[in-house]
Amino acid sequence: MAQTPRLQVDHVSCDFDGRVVVRDVSLQVAPGEIMCLLGPSGCGKSTTLRVIAGVERQNAGRILVDGQVMSDDRDHRPPEARGIGLMFQDFALFPHLSVAQNVSFGLTGPKTEKSARVTELLERVDLAGYGQKSPHMLSGGEQQRVALARALAPRPKVMLMDEPFSGLDNRLRDGIRDETLQLLKEEGTAVLLVTHEPEEAMRMADQIALMRDGQIVQQGAPYNIYNAPCDQAAAAFFSDVNVIRGRVEGALTDTAFGQFLAPGYPDGSDVEIIFRPQHVKIDFDRGGRGPNPTAVDGVPARGVVERARFMGHESLVEFRMDFNQEVLRATVPAVFLPKPGTPLWLTVRRDRCFVFPHRG
């Protein structure tokens, strides 16, 4: 039998004054699983979290935790009765309470049990011995760990996190983020985390839900979302992409890089072929000719270097292509800085290209 999801969101919609901000959102998060809600600013990520938390009420749909209805069109449990923990970027510790009092704030039960839980959590976030300190005596990263301990203290089944690490500097962030998520996994908490940074989502998530204009447009493991994007915008959200156009004839489209499969497209339809700069291969000009065509790489097309930049772990080369006078980008995982004006030949990995309808 399939495991009951810790968090289940079914067809949730939310509007403000008639403007739909969250549209028919459904998702499920298993115990110990991390799902990232990823999308551009204003697409409705935070509103989705607030609806799940119960601080905003949906217009349609329902929210379940461990199979129990928290909110539907009849019932609506208040936020504190949902078994859901919250962690936001602007987490606020109570300044007049000690670290230990902050952590035990949401706990009920006998004093000795509460105190044992606080000690355990402060140890787990590497702040053993900090209990009697005041929040203002702590660094930003330490305060964030106190906030995490406070959110974890009542053993929430679900943790909702809204850009929780973006206030930290880069060096601190990686460590705190990895430790935090490890801790949540060990506790079996289902985590739904909002971010607008694809790299952060790829690094953290077991599952990514890609959101746009209030809707989830694609859901899946990071590998699948990256390698099988549902449309051009989804592909472009994760990295720079190159676009060339073609017209379909007999389920194939002919381009300067050879033929591409376009199954399901009717004859005469215009398509866009999308590929990432790291899937472009560069070859030297051999007396006006490029490399011989192969099944994987297709046909070479000539371009002239416009500029080349060293990016640290790779070089980015921009070409003006002979066949359409447009710019294509290629990355090379080494120092490769050909002079502007150098003619070179490009081939693209055909198995790493995506064909989508032309957007007009």
Ligand X SMILES: Nc1ncnc2c1ncn2[C@@H]1O[C@H](COP(=O)(O)OP(=O)(O)OP(=O)(O)O)[C@@H](O)[C@H]1O
Binding site for ligand X (CB under 6 A): 16, 21, 39, 41-47, 196
User: By C-beta, is 47 or 180 nearer to ligand X?
Assistant: 47
Task: Supply the minimum distance, in Å, between the C-beta of residue 269 and ligand X.
Answer: 33
The side-by-side arrangement of strands in the sheet containing 68-71 is 19-29, 7-16, 60-65, 68-71
User: By C-beta, is 15 or 249 nearer to ligand X?
Assistant: 15
User: By C-beta, is 16 or 223 nearer to ligand X?
Assistant: 16
CA proximity to 100, closest of 73, 120, 72, 82: 120
Q: State the Cα torsion 266-348-238-326 to the nearest 10°.
A: -80
Task: Supply the minimum distance, in Å, between the C-beta of residue 82 and ligand X.
Answer: 19
Both tokens of 110, joined, read 């006998």
Both tokens of 82, joined, read 């949902």
Radius of gyration of the chain from Cα atoms? 25
Task: Supply the minimum distance, in Å, between the C-beta of residue 47 and ligand X.
Answer: 3
Give the separation between CA 160 and CA 182, rounded to whole angstroms.
15
User: By C-beta, is 210 or 317 nearer to ligand X?
Assistant: 210
Task: Supply the minimum distance, in Å, between the C-beta of residue 211 and ligand X.
Answer: 7
Q: State the Cα torsion 42-44-50-56 to the nearest 10°.
A: 100
User: By C-beta, is 42 or 129 nearer to ligand X?
Assistant: 42
Task: Supply the minimum distance, in Å, between the C-beta of residue 63 and ligand X.
Answer: 16
The one-letter code for the residue type at 127 is L
